[in-house]
Amino acid sequence: MSDGAPILVVDDEVQIRRFLRISLEANGYRVHEAALGQDALLKTAQLRPELVILDMGLPDIDGLEVLRRLREWTKTPVIILSVRDSDRDKVSALDAGADDYLTKPFSMEELMARLRVAQRHAQPDPEEPIFRSGDLQVDLVRRIVTVRDEPVKLTPTEYALLRLLIQHAGKVLTHKQILREVWGPEYVNETHYLRVYFAQLRQKIEHDPAVPRLLLTEAGVGYRLMVEDRVQ
Amino acid sequence: MDELRPDPDALLAAIQKDEERQQRGKLKIFFGMAAGVGKTYAMLDAAHQLKQDGVDVVVGYVETHKRAETEALISGLEVMPRQKIEYRGAVLEEMDLDAILERKPQLVLVDELAHTNVPGTRHTKRWQDVEEILEVGIDVYTTVNVQHFESRADTVRQITGVTVYETVPDTMLDLADEIELIDLSPEDLRKRLAEGKVYTPERIEVAASNFFRTGNLTALREMALRLTAEHVDHKLQDYMQLKRIAGPWKSSERLMVGISPSPFSEQLIRWTRRMAYNLEAPWLAVYVQTAKPLHPEEKDRLAHNLALARNLGGEVLTVVGDNIQEVMLRLARQRNISQIVVGKPIHTRLQAALRGGSLVDKLVRASGDIDVFVVTGDPISKPQVNAQPRAATPHSSVKQYVLAAIIVATVTVIDLIAVPFIGYQAVGLTELFAVLLIAAYLGRGPALLAAFLSALSWNFLFISPRYTFHISQLQDVILFLLYFAIAIFTGNLTARIRRQERQARYNADRTLALYTLAHEIATAVNMDDVLQTAVTQLSSVFDARIAFLLPDGETLNPRPHPVSTLPIDEKDFSVARWAFDNGKPAGRFTDTLPLASAQYLPLNTPSRTVGVIGIGLQQEERLSLDQEVLLETFINQIALVIERELLDEAAEQTAMLQESERLSTTLLNSISHELRTPIAAIMGSATSLLDPQTASSQDARDELAKDIRESADRLNRLVENLLDMSRLESGRLQLKREWCDLGEIVGVAVQRFERCFEERPLHIDVEPNLPLLLVDFVLIEQVIVNLLDNACTYTPIATQVQIELRHTPPVLELVIHDNGPGVPAEDLEKIFDKFYRVPGRTSGGTGLGLSICRGLVEAHGGTLTAENVYPSGLRFVLRLPLEGMPPPVREAEL
């Protein structure tokens, strides 16, 4: 399957690289490997992969630094794999431009789903005027939101939130990113705005607001809008 | 036989002395009767001999007095550079003690032991420098003349008329391992003087006709010879004791000398020391502190006398009491004293009679089998005694006398008005009453004045014939005389009661201060508290700024403890360090580095020095004697408490180590099972997958892969729990509180248990419009995850699980309720203990989850409890406090 999308796996652990290679190749990716940060920077430039899977704890340069240097010149989607599970690490990686973050141990299923989302964003989709996920349908041109074909009335702020999430559907947005985009840079620390508005939004668009399926909370990090194909 | 047996105590003392000497450097004193006998020459000569034998000799300080023969001798030896000190504009040279300690030779030559150092050097006296050199194990050769020894100083003055100011304590003589007497006949010495070998020509004339008179020299020579003989005799006795040679064992005599601030006491002390030395007896110097306050001058002299007694090797005691002879005799009996030494009274017989008999009379009468020596004072010091300001009883000021006069005048005026109605006898009583009041409040002097004035005015103004001092009737004469006597007697009596009351109050204050310190220190929970208390107490009792310096390992930490109020700069610290290293006081009011701005006292305990306390007094003069005693008691107490704290800390650390050891054993025992089970499953499944037979079946492959995944999940959970536990236990857990929606947290947690709740019906009931909570999102999520995990692990499939969220001010209440089998009532609390598992349950949990939950909830100030519900099931109730209101939420500006 050497004709699939090229992907670069950066991890210093041989075993992790090995099982990633097996699974990724089975799923049709063309896998390149790098064990060091320097190596990763070089191979990204040479091989131009469509996706990068990056470990944070590298022996030579810290993964976060690798990410920053990559972001200086490329928008190639980067998914972070790390044993560091504190929300501070996640947030700093996402704020530095990572597209997603998975903590080890993780399931292959999960990784594949995240890779697909990242890939979709990388391909500059023709701007779709209508977004659908599960019961939710949003007409971005006419600004009409319907849930199970029932129109839903959103406040301007709620709509702005929803539109931002749709633009990055499937991807985690950190609290800071959302607050900066919707409220402005001076509000980046007012996390409780999000608590209130997401609760309101869930009341309006979720089937069961207590167990949300669309507007997911990433504990300590931010929010993600799930893209669901099945209709309930 | 018994008489021949050595006294064990004496033997021990001899051995100790010997051991001490072996560690210390050896001291040899070249000893002479006067300047010019050739001590320095002899010392240098001996040094040359040793140098030839390969001994590392340096000249610490030798004054050549520009004598050619001495200078020639010095040239072959290594001479230590001298320290240059600026003092009042002149640059003076002193021995450089630190350079010598640094150089650490085997032997140092130090001339003129009695020399007084320039202010600004470490010690005031050179003999103290020598002591320090000896202490580090360096041998010292030194020179000194007989007149410089403390105990001989007044004899020398009596003989030669010259007062000797530079003195060396006799203990230095005891310290000496060897004494070499450099003897010269007076005639030869005078000849040397005449030849200009002792002094420069211009001084020869004066010296020859004063100090160097043949008579003087003969007396000094005799003294020097006798001192040497005494020393040799003592050496012999020490030797005999050490070698257990039966011989003249030390006498059972014990001497006690009573001292006072009087200059006489100095002679008494020297006399006692000489006698004790010859008797080989221990001696005590006792000061009885009465209610009588001391002048600053007297305080100084008393401190000097006490220091002298200490320097001469006596034990110094201060006791409080009003009746001197009673206190002295009581103490003498307690301490088995055989002889008491007191000074001859200076009062006349009449004075003594007025005071109820002289101290000596009373002492002699009550002494029983104790001998009393009465020693005469030296006539030379008499003028000093007379010149000394009279030590007043509570000093009444002029103001008080004037006030007394005014009171008498006022009462008299009132009486003048009232006398027609009450009669002149009642007038006398009113005046007497006024005298009593004055005695009680203004003291003895004003009372006597009042008695005198009122008697006169009564006589003059009221007793007939009025307006004369003449009294016509006999009964009036008796009345008047009685009045006078009663006024004086009661005035005296009242004043004395007042004085005693003051003494009692002072004693009570002192006791209270000590009690407060002891109490507060005892209740202090840690070192910081102890030191804080000590600083507060010491500052208030002594009106001083205080600094505590504690050791950091073996050396003193230059940064004072944060509770200190006295700033410590580099110079102060060097003083403090000296006090710490040597375990002796230093700084202001001491003999070591007295120019420092504060006093540094070591905190000594029987085993070691635990630190140094710096005391910066606000007042200019030194503390009074009793304050010093109080301070010493304080410091001893503090030192003991600090040591206790240090030991406690050490013990606590040991206990903590033991506890963590016990915990890790439990942990290992409990966890090895939990770790091995999933690993075994993973290993088994993986090897099965490798087996081609098994791997050919699709179902079997799926089953095995699922097993591996589940076991890995379980392992992962265990590791997470262990990490959380260690974070909680180590206290490194930091809450990242932010305003959160508890319903949202529940939603996130529930998503993690998709599989579990596919098999168990889940019902979530959230009250609408719940207020936001200020909590750590991730940690509270974890609490809920653990509780749900518990429900999934310990309940059978199809058990109903219910989550309720309610607003019950002042808390938000989260209830997780399952229909499972519940937990036996006696285990309901225990399930929150670490590694506790309900007996008989299938394993799968780590025994850590609930314990972590409770820890996290309590860190948020909330509670977590478990209860059984009827008819079956378990209910966890989590209550989190609602704190404040979140700031208002704004709409976005779009």
B882 by DSSP, 3-state: which? coil
Q: Do B375 and B341 form a contact (C-beta atoms < 8 A)?
A: yes
Q: Tell me which of A117-126, B247-256, B285-294 is least confident.
A: B247-256
In this predicted model, what pLDDT tens digit does every residue of B238-248 receive, in sequence order? 666 555 544 33
Instruction: Say what the pLDDT of residue B470 is.
Output: 80
Write out the residues of chain B at the interface with chain A, using a CB-CB cutoff of 8 A.
709, 712, 716, 736, 738-741, 743-748, 750-751, 764, 766, 772, 777-778, 781, 886-887, 889-894
Tokens of B705: 């892969």
- Total length of chain B: 894
Q: What is the pLDDT of residues A61-101, one digit of tens each?
A: 889 999 999 998 888 999 998 887 778 888 999 989 899 99
Q: Above 80 in pLDDT, residue A177?
A: yes
Confidence of residue B391 (pLDDT cuts 50, 70, 90): very low
Rg (CA), chain A: 19
Residue B240's pLDDT is 60
Q: Where are the beta strands (DSSP E) in B673-790?
A: 738-740, 762-766, 773-775
C-alpha B351, offset from chain centre: 44
The arithmetic mean of pLDDT across residues A20-36, rounded, is 91
Task: Characterise A170 by phi-psi region: left (phi > 0), alpha (psi -120 to 50), beta (else).
Answer: left
pLDDT at B815 (0 to 100): 94
Q: Choose among B363, B376, B174, B370: nearest CA to B253.
A: B370
Determine whether the interchain pair B739/A211 forms a contact, defined as Cβ–Cβ distance below 8 Å: no
ipTM of this complex: 0.82
What is the DSSP pairing of strand B57-61 with strand B107-110?
parallel
Residue found under tokens 């027609």: B420
Q: Work out the pLDDT band at B393, boundaries 50, 70, 90.
A: very low
Identify the pLDDT of residue B488.
83
According to DSSP, residue B593 is labeled S
Residue to mutate among A111, A192, A204, A213, with most B CBs inside 10 A, is A192
The segment with the largest mean pLDDT, out of A213-227, B54-68, B375-389, B533-547, is A213-227
Q: Which residues of chain B have a CB within 8 Å of the CB of A206?
A: none
Quick one: average pLDDT of B2-27?
A: 66
Question: A193–B744: do the CB atoms touch at under 8 Å?
Answer: no
**Contact B766/A210, CB-based, under 8 Å?**
yes
CB–CB of B740 and A195 under 8 A?
yes
CA distances from A92 to A101, A154, A220, B521 (A): 11, 32, 12, 50
For B116-232, where are the E strands, in sequence order?
139-145, 178-182
DSSP readout, B295-330?
A: -HHHHHHHHHHHHHHHHTT-EEEEEE-S-HHHHHHH
pLDDT value at residue B666: 65
CB contact under 8 A, B892 and A105: no
The tens digit of pLDDT for each residue in A45-58 reads 999 999 999 998 88
Whether A217 sits inside 8 A of B744 (CB atoms) is yes
More confident residue, B222 or A205: A205
The model's confidence at residue A128, banded by pLDDT at 50, 70 and 90, is low
B-chain residues near A208 (CB < 8 A): 764
Q: Give the number of C-alpha atoms closer than 13 A to the C-alpha of residue A39, restricted to the C-beta side.
A: 15
Q: Are strands B599-604 and B586-587 parallel, antiparallel or unpaired?
A: antiparallel
Say what the pLDDT of residue B239 is: 64
Q: Is the pLDDT of residue B603 over 60?
A: yes
Q: Would you mind telling me the total number of residues written for chain A in this entry?
A: 232
Q: Are the CB atoms for A215 and A223 separated by under 8 Å?
A: yes
What pLDDT does residue B880 have? 94
Higher pLDDT residue, B560 or B244?
Answer: B560
Locate the DSSP E strands across B623-705. none
Phi, psi of B770 (to 5 degrees): -70, 145
All residues of chain B having their beta carbon less than 8 Å from the beta carbon of residue A157 are: 891-892, 894
Under 8 Å between Cβ of B406 and B450:
no
pLDDT in tens, B446-494: 888 888 888 888 888 888 788 888 888 888 888 888 888 888 888 788 8
Phi-psi region of A138 (alpha: psi -120 to 50; beta: other; left: phi over 0): beta
Choose the weakest-confidence range: B79-88, B623-632, B770-779.
B623-632
So what's the pLDDT on residue B876? 93
Instruction: Report yes or no: A219 at the B interface, CB cutoff 8 Å.
Output: yes
- Per-residue pLDDT, averaged over B614-636, amounts to 80
The pLDDT score that the predictor gives to residue B532 is: 86
Q: pLDDT at residue B348 above 70? A: no
B482-516 burial: b if 16+ Cβ within 10 Å, else e? ebbeebbebbeebbeebbeeebeeeeeebeebbee
Least confident of A177-181, B5-9, B32-36, B779-783: B5-9
For the ranges B11-20, B259-268, B400-409, B532-541, which has the lowest average pLDDT? B11-20
Region for B615 from its dihedrals, namely left if φ exceeds 0, alpha if ψ lies in -120 to 50, beta otherwise: beta
pLDDT at B78 over 70: yes
Rounded mean pLDDT, B847-853: 84
Of B846 and B401, the structure prediction assigns the larger pLDDT to B401
| % of chain B surpassing 70 pLDDT | 89
**Residue B53: helix, strand or coil by DSSP?**
coil
Beta strand A144-147 pairing with A136-139? antiparallel
Look at residue B562 and tell me whether its pLDDT is greater than 90: no
pLDDT of B316-345, one tens digit each?
A: 887 777 788 888 888 888 777 888 888 877
pLDDT band per the 50, 70, 90 thresholds, residue A230: very low
Is pLDDT above 80 for B280? no
| Lowest-pLDDT choice from A170-184, A215-229, B459-473, B557-571 | B459-473
What are the C-alpha distances in Å from B71 to residues B41, B201, B330, B464, B639?
9, 18, 59, 94, 51
Name every chain A residue with its beta carbon within 8 A of the beta carbon of B746. Answer: 210
pLDDT of residue A229: 59
Classify residue B146 by its DSSP letter.
Answer: G
Q: B894 and A156 in contact by Cβ < 8 A?
A: yes
On whether any CB of chain B is under 8 Å from the CB of A226, the answer is no
Most confident of A132-146, B286-300, B708-722: A132-146
Using a CB–CB cutoff of 8 Å, tell me whether A113 touches chain B. no
Most A-contacting residue of B710, B741, B766 (CB-CB within 10 A), to test interface: B741
Instruction: Pick B889's closest partner by Cβ from A105, A196, A219.
Output: A196
pLDDT score of B379? 47
- In this prediction, residues B643-660 reach a mean pLDDT of 80
> What residues form DSSP beta bridges with B30?
B143, B180
CA dist B809 and B135 (Å) reads 74
**Mean pLDDT for chain A?**
87
CB contact under 8 A, B890 and A193: yes
> Nearest CA to B288 among B257, B253, B255?
B257
Mean pLDDT of B238-267: 68
What is the C-alpha to C-alpha distance for residues A50 and A30, in angstroms, rounded to an integer? 10
Whether B889 sits inside 8 A of A197 (CB atoms) is: yes
Q: Quick one: pLDDT at residue B1?
A: 41
Q: Mean pLDDT of all residues in chain B?
A: 81
CA B305/CA B141 separation, integer angstroms:
29
DSSP 8-state code for residue B87: E
Helix pair B777-794, B742-751: axis angle to 10 deg: 50
How far, in Å, CA of A112 to CA of A108, rounded? Answer: 6
Location of structure tokens 């949202």: B744
- Retrieve residue A99's tokens: 């597209």
Task: State pLDDT tens for residues B502-552.
Answer: 777 777 777 777 777 777 777 777 778 888 888 888 887 788 889 999 888
CA distance B130 to B128: 5
User: How is residue A149 written in tokens?
Assistant: 């074909």
SS3 category, A3? coil
Taking only residues 92 to 111 of chain A, the set having a beta carbon closer than 8 angstroms to any beta carbon of chain B reads 105, 107
Please answer whether residues B609 and B583 qualify as being in contact, where contact means their C-beta atoms are separated by less than 8 angstroms: yes
Confidence of residue B2 (pLDDT cuts 50, 70, 90): very low
Both structure tokens of B549:
């310096």
Task: Specify the pLDDT at position B385.
Answer: 35
| Burial status of residue B656 (CB atoms within 10 A of its CB: 0-12, 13-18, 19 or more) | exposed
